[in-house]
Structure formats: structure tokens, C-alpha cells
Amino acid sequence: MLNCGKPAFDPTSVSTNRGGKCESCFLSELRALLAQGQKKEQQKLARADSKFKKQGYTHRVDAWIHPASGGDDKLVSLYMVNPTDKQIQTELKKGNSCVLNDYKLTVL
């Protein structure tokens, strides 16, 4: 189970989430899984951007909704045509966000 021969906990004698790998090997595998997931998300976003651009949208707004009532914030992507700050803020209000400037504008 060892990848590199460095010391690691034996999963048969110690409860661990490392699967018998040393810390370096475990983290390398974890980073590779993260990179793979990020690549898939970027591809998914690129497909959505292309789809909405073909429909005439000019911008993607990635915004965090901060609920006024508390609770977890959530990330949303809005597709808009030449949005102004006021239009974006109106959309964030519709989403019940109490913060109206936590967004990033991306040209398609």
C-alpha cells in the first residue's frame, strides 16, 4: 500500500483516512483529485457560457447571496445583457441578499 517507502500508519492497526500512504503521497493524490474536479467544473462553466452567449447574453455575473435572515451564503451565476451595477444589485435583492456588492462580472 505504500507508494514511496516513507513511513506511514498501518491501516490494519490504526484508524486513519490515509489508506496506508505517507502524508506526501496522500496529499499528492488529494491534489490530483481536486485538480480533476476543478477541470470538470471549468469545462461545465465554459459550456454554459457558450450556450448563453449564443442566446445573446453578454456577461456572466458570479455573485454570493448573503441572506438577510442569516444562514449559509450561496454562489449563483446570472447571465445578463450589458448589466449595470444597479441591475445586478436588483437581482441580488430579488435573491434576498443583504450584501449587494459581492459579485464578479465576466464578459462572455
Digit-coded pLDDT (tens) for 19-37: 778 888 889 999 999 999 9
Q: Domain check: are 61 and 98 in the same one?
A: yes
Q: Burial letters for 42-73: b for 16+ Cβ neighbours within 10 Å, e otherwise?
A: eeeeeeebeebeeeebebbbebebbeeeeeee
Average pLDDT over residues 42-53: 96
Average pLDDT across the chain, whole number? 90
Residue 3, pLDDT score: 65
Task: Provide the domain limits for residue 42.
Answer: 20-55
Residue 13 domain-assigned (yes or no): no
* pLDDT, tens digit, 9 for 90 and up, residues 90-101: 999 999 999 999
Q: Where are the alpha helices (DSSP H) in the chain?
A: 23-54, 85-94
Indicate the pTM of the whole model: 0.73
Q: Kindly state whether residue 1 falls inside one of the protein's structural domains.
A: no
- pLDDT surpasses 70 at 1: no
Write out pLDDT tens, residues 56-91: 999 999 999 999 888 899 999 999 999 999 999 999
Q: Are residues 61 and 46 in the same domain?
A: no
Number of domains in the chain: 2
> Which of 35, 55, 75 marks a domain boundary?
55
- pLDDT in the model for residue 15: 75
CB 54 within 8 A of CB 108: no
Same domain, residue pair 51 and 75: no
